[in-house]
A and B are shown apart, each in its own frame.
Chain A
Amino acid sequence: MTKVKSVAKTGIQKGISRRSLLKNSAAVAGLALAASACVPAGPEAAGDEGMAASQEPVDIQIWWRINPTTEGVLQVFQERHPDITVSLGDLGEAVYGTPKYVTAVAAGKGPDVSYQNRHTFRQFASRNLYRPIEDLLERDNVDKGNFMAGPIADLTWQGTLYGLPHTAGTRYFFWNRTHFEEAGLDPDVGPETWDDIMEMAPQLNKMEGDRIVRYGFLPHFPPGLSDQLLIYAMENGGVSQSEDGRTNLINTDPWVEALEWCVHMIDEFGGGNAAASSFMEGFAGQPVDPFAQGQVSMSSYGNWMIGRYARFPDLDYDGTGLMPVSASQEGAQVNWSCGWTFVIDPNTELVEQGWEFIQWVISEEYVRAAGTVGLALEKAEWERQQLPGEPIFAPTPPVYQPAMQVMLDEYYSVLPERQKIMMERYLDSESFAVGCGQIAGLAAAELWIGFKNAWEAALTKKLTPQEALDASHADVQKALDAAWENLESS
């Protein structure tokens, strides 16, 4: 468990050089103060101060991410809430499961507040791992309508809300404008259908002898993700489960066809799985991906890369949240959305303090504090890398609409024109994206493993796409049946 002051430890963990660590630490500390000064004192501040004079501050444990941004914003939070101190701990692995949190809560030693991903949210909400917050919403008149609808639906299980969404993100299709121009393609227009991709990919491939040195398109992108299959299946009209959430559907035709298409793309335009896997393995664990390096011309990734790709001055990129679809789905708007959420431990006695923190961390104040700290870090990074021009800073989109308005007014509106348009396209995609919590349902952990297994088994030709998806379907359905049975018997 780390108190929020321990910036140095974080720097070392992240592998930052001593010099930049010291610079960043100083910047974060200074800008946290500046950020707190920027934030107007609300009416509750006076009350807080009065309370602080008479009471010892209450310490709450929060499992989040330990990095300069979180530590910086927590300094601001504590200055604004002198009645609360925060012990910050790292959440550990938590995208496709949350073992650290689960075991801690089961042992009655969970953090008061925790960050959680929505990939597995409903599965854990249905098992009472989170405190329902309907009573707090009602008491404090927090309107669910002020949040993006998808994330709120993800966090709702049997009519009850179990957390407040913090950030969101969708899949995003990028293309390299320079490569498009070289290949005689219009750099302003990305592919809209799978047929477009199949037409463009060979034109964008670059060969050295019989070896591909630049890939037009690789479906298994980026390296390391376990859920690529999902977006391709959705692009082909696939849904993961029946409306009642009891029947898994990942071995139905749209899924099988999608996986067949991915295998075909790799065989036909990626030089086969051995070559493509060998190429992708080269980027596993690296801070840059092959699209950023200019070695892949089109990629299906996430909106969070809009800002990150700006750090590559040689990369002239564009993108959209409107994912290319199969011929049968032409004209359909397809995407899925996921993101992070704050929850309260079902056993904590510090509900009020935890709730106070959660309300703050989704608010406009937080956006300003995180923006101030984040911009300073981005500037430091641009300086460190000696990047040309002004830093392009596109913070993670919040889910709370008033906070999003601040983000739009103060950060997205000052982005360069192209990134601004890309952000607008992202926001559009959130309006039709399906939430990952709804997609995954009650056997979420098994489903994400099932995607990975089917994907790998089909790409390595261990099984046909149909066989691979049948096997994953059987696993997920079994887990789903057990989950419903347990739920109903309890």
Chain B
Amino acid sequence: MTDAQPKPRLTNAAREALTCYLFLLPWGIGFLAFVIGPVAASFVLGFMDYEIVTPARWVGLSNYIELFTDDQRFGMSMGNTLYYVLVFVPLHILVATLLALLLNQKARGIAVYRTLFYVPSIVPIVAGAILWVWILQPEWGLINSTLRSVGIEGPLWLASLTWSKPALILMALWGSGAAMIIVLAGLQGVPQHLYEAAEIDGANRWQRFQHVTLPMLSPTLFFILVLSVIASFQVFTTAYVMTGGGPAESTLFYMLYLYRRAFVLLDMGYAASMAWILFVAVLALTLVQFKLASRWVYYEAEQS
């Protein structure tokens, strides 16, 4: 009599794969329903006249044509956004890097300093924005009062056409703590033996920074650059809370204009087409960044 075992219907590998997919399924359903679905719907809506409360009407490319040919605010809001991106992103990386370098020292109470600089980045953005409205208040705000005490008459900040965007950038820089922590982690990952070797070769402090720290930190900086550019193109909350897009639309950023078209003017089809233009623009810019990354980002694994 043979002791034949019944052949299992599924191999172990297949069973494992099936279990894996079953566990992934809830996420997959959610991803399809709440991410892919709305993204696909917004693409279709971009070709429609859709006022939310009335049935959508197919209008072909007319939303896109209007955006590029007959909407001054599209260009203006994109211009405001580009200004923000071009000024904020480099400053953000610079501030985060400088702070990380400072806080990478072996000093007494350094953990406290790190915490203090990190804390603003976890302040809820609306609360931070309201706080900064007070700080930037021209008459008795903290900044202008301080400037006045040294004989400088500060600008109108949020009420000024010239200074409203820099004011929002200043506020955003206050929240550079999260990037600072990432750079700090990058700095602490630089092998000590590289510094020792450079020192033996006679490299001074600046040369060690230039030829050891920066190259070793470049993947981290690249990561922050990509994320910052994407996030900066989507700047919304601070302008919504602090200026409402004013004065005279000087802080009407792209996302704020998109929100206004969608939820104030109920022009959801038009807003969807704006969203897709932004998506394509940011995607293209990100691809360019990846393309250029090989020129300045150093990956140790690739070199070896």
Binding site for B on A (CB under 8 A): 96-97, 99, 102-103, 105-106, 124, 127-129, 274, 277-279, 281-282, 284-285, 445-446, 449, 452-453, 456-457, 460, 462-463, 479, 486, 489-490
Contact = CB atoms under 8 A, between A and B. Distances in A.
B161 A102 contact: no
Interface string B263-283: 111100000000000000000
Interface stretch (B50-58, B92-100, B120-128, B183-191): B50-58
B263 A103 contact: yes
Interface residues of B, number: 29
Say what secondary structure dominates the interface of chain B: loop
B80 interface: no
A103 B53 CA distance: 8
Contacts of B248: 453, 456-457, 460, 462-463
26 contacts: A96-B264, A97-B263, A102-B53, A102-B263, A103-B263, A127-B53, A127-B54, A274-B156, A277-B159, A278-B139, A278-B156, A279-B139, A281-B139, A281-B158, A445-B265, A449-B260, A449-B264, A452-B244, A452-B246, A456-B246, A456-B249, A460-B161, A460-B248, A486-B49, A490-B54, A490-B55
Given A99-B263, A460-B161, 7 more contacts: A102-B263, A102-B266, A277-B138, A278-B138, A281-B137, A282-B138, A453-B248
A486 B51 contact: yes
A490 B49 CA distance: 12
B130 interface: yes
B57 to A, nearest CB: 8
Contact of B247 (A127, A278, A456): A456
Ranked 10 nearest A-B pairs via Cβ: A99-B263, A282-B139, A278-B138, A456-B248, A457-B248, A97-B264, A106-B52, A277-B159, A456-B247, A127-B53
Contacts of A96: 264
B138 to A, nearest CB: 4
B269 to A, nearest CB: 11
Contact of B51 (A97, A127, A453): A127
Interface of B: 49, 51-55, 57, 130, 133-134, 137-140, 156, 158-161, 244, 246-249, 260, 263-266
A15 to B, nearest CB: 12
A285 B134 CA distance: 9
A103 B52 contact: yes
B264 to A, nearest CB: 4
A212 to B, nearest CB: 12
B54 A128 contact: yes
Contacts of B266: 102, 127, 445
A268 B160 CA distance: 20
Nearest to B57: A489
Contacts of B55: 490
Given A99-B264, A277-B156, A285 B54 contact: no
